[in-house]
Amino acid sequence: MIRYCLISLAMFLLNQHLFAQVKPEWESIFKVISEETEKNSKAYATLRDVTEQTGHRLTGSPNGSKAEAFVFDLLQSYGYTPHYQSFETESWSRGKLTVKINKLTYKAVSLAHSPIKANVSASLVDMGNGLEEDYLGHETGVKDKIALVYLGILPGSKAGTRNLHRSEKTALAIKYGAKGIIFINSAPGNILLTGTASVTGKLISIPAVCISNEDGLKLKTSLQSKPAAAQINMTNFSGNIKARNVIATLKGKTNPGEKIIIGGHLDSWDLATGAIDNGIGTFAIIDMARTFKALQLQPERTIEFVLFMGEEQGLLGSKAYVAGAEKDGSLNSIQYMLNFDMTNDPRGYSATVPTDKALFEGIGAFAKQTDTSFANTYSSGFGLHSDHQPFMLQGIPTGGASGRLSPEVLKCYHADCDDMNLVNEAELKNTVRFGAMLLYGIADSKTLQAKRMSDEEIKEQLIKSNLKEPLQLAGEWRWKE
């Protein structure tokens, strides 16, 4: 009997806690959000327009500037008064590249922030996954050689092996004295992948290139029986330019001084149009903004819709935003940062910390009432390498929607096949409507339990999440032992 009473009390307190955050009227609001999106969403059409009119959206390029103006005008047409947040960055664009191994020319692509000019020749050495343990366990070492590194985790690697970002693997190659690094793409299909090889967003000291999965694995096998000599000859372009985040604000009804940011990166790499990375995230956010205006929604807190530039070159736009907020004292006003990066067809929600789990699940319960395909899953945890990171490292709660993309789509990540034909219109609409529900619920909740974390709390969570090593490699570990 006592146990039953304790369980009942616990359930009562949980329900009271949930009731303190959610509002019954969200059920009807979420229903009209769903109906508006299904009937009138412009996300697919505007994404198609920008890919056709602009092409890629590389930061610092004329295409990038055209994309910034396109989004600015679009938000203005929806009834907002958007503004630009300009920042200076070191731009990078590819020039010429030749990769020869044993005098055979390989199809390859330069990774961003490789040197402006490089012509290196050296023995090629297989460094496996390119992790610290691979260098420590290699008898002959990689000093003054060119490292061959798998982009992901090789099949047959020991259980629990954790991967590093390509920029972190490049930093390790530099640390151990390599003259260059050749990545093997982990996606099959003779696909070439680009992306930054720099942990700082600045030029690196060695050339970094990517070859296809098929070519790389054949090469890896041949190295077991005979040595190879590699040559990387490249020219690239770099220089300081200005780029612009695009920001639109919807003022809160009762707590305008508390801010919820929903953001995603507008920029893309230049091998294709970046329809998936991150067109689907960017144009879902813009259509959420359209939906709020169309339905005249005004939650309690202020919402900022932020489209960042420079994410692909080192989170430059989001870092500029956070630096600006530190400077003007507005960082403490940010209650949550919701990040949509390649988010597609969500079936649940996520956050860095589980403090507001009841709220996220409460929002999800209403979302599920509008469409039973929404599973209302919830997850929490820290992660890196997207525009939530600068906010997270300042202790600001971050979150988003948990989406899904097919393997056929994912293999075109940062590749020359990331084009509009990969985008599913129905799934993009789901991102808009379920994302808009999350955004409205967070912005309109009676209370938010998650608060900005202290420096010591951030450090503890980063260590628990095994993120100390990658942050040290990036020079972003600010804590002393």
Residue-wise pLDDT for 429-452, tens only, equals 999 999 999 999 999 999 999 999
Angle 236-238-243 from CA coordinates, rounded to 5° = 130
CA dihedral 195, 196, 197, 200 (to 10 degrees): -160
Query: Which of 227, 256, 273 represents a domain boundary (last residue)?
Result: 227
Q: Are residues 86 and 120 in the same domain?
A: no
What percent of the chain clears pLDDT 90, i.e. is strictly above it? 91
Q: Are residues 261 and 392 in the same domain?
A: yes
Collapse the DSSP code of 452 into the 3-class scheme (helix H, G, I; strand E, B; otherwise coil) and give the result: coil
Sequence-ordered list of residues with C-beta below 8 angstroms from that of 270, at least 6 positions apart, any chain: 56, 58, 61, 63, 93, 94, 194
Instruction: Give the DSSP letter of residue 232.
Output: E
Q: Are residues 35 and 141 in the same domain?
A: no
pLDDT tens across 29-59, in order?
A: 999 999 999 999 999 999 999 999 999 999 9
What percent of the chain clears pLDDT 70, i.e. is strictly above it? 96
Q: For the residues 375-382, what does the mean pLDDT come to?
A: 98
16 pLDDT more than 80: no
Kindly tell me the burial class for residue 48, based on how many C-beta atoms sit within 10 Å of its own C-beta (0-12, 13-18, 19 or more).
middle
pLDDT tens across 286-324, in order?
A: 999 999 999 999 999 999 999 999 999 999 999 999 999
> Quick one: pLDDT at residue 18?
52
In a domain, 2, yes or no: no
What distance in Å separates the CA atoms of residue 30 and residue 49, rounded to the nearest whole number?
Answer: 28
What distance in Å separates the CA atoms of residue 73 and residue 62, rounded to the nearest whole number?
Answer: 17
pLDDT band, residue 87 (cuts 50/70/90): very high
What distance in Å separates the CA atoms of residue 360 and residue 382, rounded to the nearest whole number?
Answer: 17
Centroid of chain to Cα 436: 19
What distance in Å separates the CA atoms of residue 462 and residue 108, rounded to the nearest whole number?
Answer: 35
> Quick one: pLDDT at residue 241?
86
The string over 276-292, giving b where at least 16 C-beta atoms fall within 10 Å of a residue's C-beta and e elsewhere, is bbbbbbbbbbbbbbbbb
- Counted residue by residue, the chain has a size of 481
DSSP string across 424-444: -HHHHHHHHHHHHHHHHHHHH
> Quick one: pLDDT at residue 149?
98
In a domain, 192, yes or no: yes
pLDDT tens across 319-357, in order?
A: 999 999 999 999 999 999 999 999 999 999 999 999 999
Query: Which of 173, 206, 227 represents a domain boundary (last residue)?
Result: 227
- What residues does 380 pair with on adjacent strands? 351
> Quick one: pLDDT at residue 235?
98
DSSP string across 187-213: STTT--B--B--SSSS--SS-EEEE-H
Q: Are residues 221 and 316 in the same domain?
A: no
Instruction: Give the DSSP letter of residue 248.
Output: E
Mean pLDDT in the chain?
Answer: 95
Range of the domain at 349: 24-90+240-450
> Quick one: pLDDT at residue 368?
98
Q: Are residues 179 and 205 in the same domain?
A: yes
Cβ proximity of 56 and 212 under 8 Å:
no
In a domain, 462, yes or no: no
Question: Crossing angle of helices 26-40/357-370, nearest 10°?
Answer: 60
Q: Are residues 136 and 223 in the same domain?
A: yes
DSSP string across 99-146: EEETTEEE-EEEPBT--SEEEEEEEEEE-TT--HHHHHT-SS--TTSE
Q: Are residues 393 and 259 in the same domain?
A: yes
> Quick one: pLDDT at residue 366?
98
Query: Which of 198, 227, 256 represents a domain boundary (last residue)?
Result: 227
Q: Are residues 285 and 421 in the same domain?
A: yes
End-to-end Cα separation, the chain, in angstroms: 51
Sequence-ordered list of residues with C-beta below 8 angstroms from that of 302, at least 6 positions apart, any chain: 249, 250, 251, 252, 255, 256, 257, 258, 259, 260, 443
Q: Are residues 407 and 273 in the same domain?
A: yes
To which residue do tokens 């972190």 refer? 168
5 pLDDT more than 60: no
Q: What is the pTM of this model?
A: 0.92
Cβ proximity of 431 and 346 under 8 Å:
yes
Give me the CATH number covering residue 262.
Answer: 3.40.630.10
In a domain, 265, yes or no: yes
What distance in Å separates the CA atoms of residue 204 and residue 143, rounded to the nearest whole number?
Answer: 16
> Quick one: pLDDT at residue 140?
83
In a domain, 458, yes or no: no
In a domain, 76, yes or no: yes
What distance in Å separates the CA atoms of residue 58 and residue 92, rounded to the nearest whole number?
Answer: 9
> Quick one: pLDDT at residue 138?
87
In a domain, 456, yes or no: no
> Quick one: pLDDT at residue 481?
72
Q: For the residues 363-377, what does the mean pLDDT come to?
A: 98
Angle 94-100-103 from CA coordinates, rounded to 5° = 155
> Quick one: pLDDT at residue 139?
79
465 pLDDT more than 70: yes
Other C-beta atoms closer than 10 Å to the C-beta of 264 total 30
Give me the CATH number covering residue 118.
Answer: 3.50.30.30
Count of structural domains within the chain: 2
Collapse the DSSP code of 466 into the 3-class scheme (helix H, G, I; strand E, B; otherwise coil) and give the result: coil
> Quick one: pLDDT at residue 174?
98
Most confident of 14-28, 80-94, 434-448: 434-448
Instruction: Give the DSSP letter of residue 20.
Output: T
Q: Are residues 445 and 327 in the same domain?
A: yes
The string over 105-143, giving b where at least 16 C-beta atoms fall within 10 Å of a residue's C-beta and e elsewhere, is ebebbbbbbbbeebebebebbbbbbbbbebbeeeeeebe
Q: Which strand (E) or helix (H) includes residue 281?
A: helix 280-294
In a domain, 314, yes or no: yes
Q: Are residues 265 and 184 in the same domain?
A: no
Q: Are residues 311 and 395 in the same domain?
A: yes
pLDDT tens across 237-284, in order?
A: 999 889 999 999 999 999 999 999 999 999 999 999 999 999 999 999
> Quick one: pLDDT at residue 135?
96
What distance in Å separates the CA atoms of residue 124 and residue 285, rounded to the nearest whole number?
Answer: 45
Other C-beta atoms closer than 10 Å to the C-beta of 338 total 27
Cβ proximity of 206 and 197 under 8 Å:
no
